[in-house]
Amino acid sequence: MMKRLGDYIRPVDVRNRDLKVTRLMGINIEKRFMPSVANVVGTDLSNYKVVSKGQFACNLMHVGRDEKIPVALQKDDEPIIVSPAYVVFEVVDTNVLLTEYLMMWFSRSEFDRNAWFYTDGDVRGGMDRDALFDMRIPVPAIEKQREIVAEYNTLQNRIETNKKLIATLEQTAQTLYRHTFIDNIDPNNLPAGWRMGTLGEYSTVKSGFAFKSDWWQTAGIPVIKIGNIDDNTIDYSACDCVDESHVDIAKKSIANEYSIVIAMTGATLGKIALVPQYSKVVLVNQRVGLFDLGANPKEKAPFLYYLLQQDFIQDEIFSVGGDSAQANVSNSDIERIKVPYPPKEIMNEFNGQCRCLLESISYHKQENQTLTQMQTLLLSKMGV
């Protein structure tokens, strides 16, 4: 049975009068607190709201526009401050409703869709506090809540463990790359056997396919768009898809496991991703470049993957394409970027050393996508 949310939570309005709290935070679309980007130089922070451990904060000003409620649970012991415009609240009795269970409910896409209907219809699509408190949630027995939260946290802990392992593996490979190709290497006075070449000598860049807008669907063959390139990987669950009947016409834009793609336009210009394993064919959309690494991309991927992450490569891409929302580079722009090349045996040795690291990174990123999908499935079942 669905219950009124306002019967289980109460508003909190503690102001930062003594200015003891200095951490100013906002809330991102992933529903996590993040350092605020607001310019508060000269701003009186005494009127800002304090959020303590176990309390929630949310921004109800743009729900209709964003189709999401940015709401987050403060889990740290140290309090934070948020905008005076935010709504801060807490659970009345945690023996009846767990804060973590409530945050899981807020994380459901169904919750955001339902919230959209409560917006006030103005230009900003705002939502008032009373509307939030009037929303309905299921409140099962506390034992059931604990069971659901424990299952979710088991998945989350595994995800966090994988993230730490990925970060360690990435750092190891980056250190090896810099030691081999960057440290003590002067591009103007290269060691014996080294030479200056172009990025295109190692791999040409193919353009993605221009799919028609009426081909898009929610299931089928995933297509990598610029917006899907994040954290050097691809989240297939966020990809738009096309029917299998379109694969043949777009076959030159097929990405394999360990292929590398790059954003070639817009504010994300230069972002790259190592394509993770997928059971079906994966295609690449227009304005996403696909590096041609041959029939077995894994053999050549390590050198290119870590090369593309270097600042001098990113700086060169921005200098050609610009750093605005209208930024744009071509295949040939990328291929012409100057790169110091060592003797082949040094490059082959690096690829061999880092291949197993890249395999492990790819595996754990793939596992995290599966775990995230399991979390999403668990969230969807909360309302059943």
Residue numbers of the chain with a pLDDT score lower than 50: 123
Could you tell me the strand order of the sheet in which 9-11 lies?
9-11, 87-91, 56-58, 71-73
| Half-sphere exposure (Cβ direction) of 93: Cα atoms closer than 13 Å | 6
Q: What is the pLDDT of residue 123?
A: 47
User: pTM for the whole thing?
Assistant: 0.84
Burial class (CB in 10 A: 0-12, 13-18, 19+), 55: buried
pLDDT digits (tens, 9 = 90+) for 50-66: 999 999 999 988 665 66
Check if the beta carbon of residue 253 is closer than 8 Å to that of residue 209.
yes
Residue type, 54: G
Determine the 3-state secondary structure of 267 from DSSP.
coil
Would strands 221-224 and 282-284 be described as parallel, antiparallel, or unpaired?
parallel
Residue type, 309: Q
Separation of alpha carbons 260 and 68, rounded Å? 32
Which 3-state string (H, E, C) describes 181-199? Answer: HCCCCECCECCCCCEEEEH
Scan for tokens 């299931």, then name that residue: 219
Separation of alpha carbons 114 and 344, rounded Å? 58
Separation of alpha carbons 286 and 265, rounded Å? 10
Burial class (CB in 10 A: 0-12, 13-18, 19+), 257: middle
Written as six digits, the tokens of 139 are: 């409140």
Nearest residue to 312 via CA among 197, 182, 200? 182
pLDDT digits (tens, 9 = 90+) for 69-102: 899 999 999 999 999 999 999 999 999 999 999 9
Check if the beta carbon of residue 320 is closer than 8 Å to that of residue 270.
no
pLDDT digits (tens, 9 = 90+) for 222-281: 999 999 998 899 988 889 999 999 999 999 999 999 999 999 998 889 999 999 888 789
Written as six digits, the tokens of 42 are: 């000269």
Q: What is the pLDDT of residue 279?
A: 79
Our CA angle for 358, 360, 364, nearest 5°, is: 120
Scan for tokens 């919750």, then name that residue: 111
Scan for tokens 């729900």, then name that residue: 63
Our CA angle for 325, 331, 332, nearest 5°, is: 115
31 backbone φψ class: left, alpha, beta (φ>0; ψ -120 to 50): left
Taking residue 209's Cβ as centre, other Cβ atoms within 10 Å add up to 21
